[in-house]
Amino acid sequence: MTLLVMAAGMGSRYGGLKQLDPIGPNGEFILDYTVYDAIAAGFDKVVFVIKEENFDIFKQTVGNRIGEKINVAYCFQALDDLPEGYSVPEGRTKQWGTAHAVLAARNEIKGPFVAVNSDDFYGRESFEIIAEHIKSNPDSPCCMAGFVLKNTLTENGTVSRGECAVSADGSLTDITERTKIKRLENGNTAYFENDEWHEISEDTIVSMNCWGLSDEFFGYAQKSFIEFLGNGGDEMKKEFYLPDAVKKFLAASGQSAKVLTTEAKWYGVTYKEDRQTVVDHIKNSIESGVYPENLWK
């Protein structure tokens, strides 16, 4: 199985290249622990989707220290990686979004794969339950790790989450991207849309972009990307989100995606103030024996 790590974002809210901010005792990054957990769950290849200008630093750090443990490949997310007949709108500098990042790996991945964000700590259980589903359902591997919203919030600002609707048999029936969610001063949780806050249950199952997919996804996503480009909107800011691309893929292909609910708590560095919480969690996990102190030795 292949792990696809989306690591091309510069982390504007965080204020730097957060994917390469050490949080472990020996300089490990969040994505080091992601790859370590994936290897433990049976993955044998990792593909990093990065910006081409970050290739050297990725290879010198992450690539060199994990290369003996797992097969490593790199793909570049580029603003001008567009279908024939399309060009980058004049003045646009923002990347096209998470679904476009996954598309960057379309020529590198064969078979089922799992796509994740590089700056989110998902926990080993997420990879174990997805790997088990893929192994047990080779003809219908599509699935996602479903997190409980209250376990994915930060006290330091808003977060983006995919609000999931789940059928009685545990299949995903709909997903709605909520780009600004936070816990309000009154203690309730809400998302911001159409210039106002709308309350949402903290027990809602949400997507953290931890998807199990078949390689059929790439062909459908390419078609969806063409539709996205032709649908208008803010040419400087609009984004091709992975949850939206997955939803269209499932509808067009007639497949379904199993929602594998986990009670794991999310840790991530959306904001600089989040960093210490992640550092403390890693320290506690080492002390409890979940990880060795020196991850790759």
Read out DSSP for the chain? Answer: -EEEEE-----TTTTS-GGG---STTS--HHHHHHHHHHHTT--EEEEEE-GGGHHHHIIIIIHHHTTTSEEEEEE--TT---TT--PPTT--S---HHHHHHTTTTT--S-EEEEETTEE--HHHHHHHHHHHHH-TTS--EEEEEEGGGS--TTS-EEEEEEEE-TTSBEEEEEEEEEEEE-TTS-EEEEETTEEEE--TT-EEEEEEEEE-TTHHHHHHHHHHHHHHT-S-TTT----HHHHHHHHHHHHT---EEEEE-PPPEE-SSGGGHHHHHHHHHHHHHTTSS-SSTT-
The yes/no answer on whether domain 2-287 falls in CATH 3.90.25.10 is no
Amino acid 17: pLDDT:
55
Question: What is residue 136's predicted lDDT score, i.e. its pLDDT?
Answer: 95
Tell me the two tokens of residue 116: 């994740």
Whole-prediction pTM value? 0.91
For 109-155, write each residue's pLDDT tens digit: 999 999 999 989 999 999 999 999 999 998 899 999 999 999 999 99
pLDDT value at position 12? 45
pLDDT tens readout for residues 78-108: 999 999 999 999 999 999 999 999 999 999 9
Domain residue limits, the chain? 2-287
At residue 19, the pLDDT reads 55
Mean pLDDT of the chain: 92
Report how far apart, in Å, the C-alpha atoms of 122 and of each of 127, 179, 278, 288 are. Answer: 8, 19, 11, 18
Which residues of the chain are under the pLDDT cut of 50?
10-16
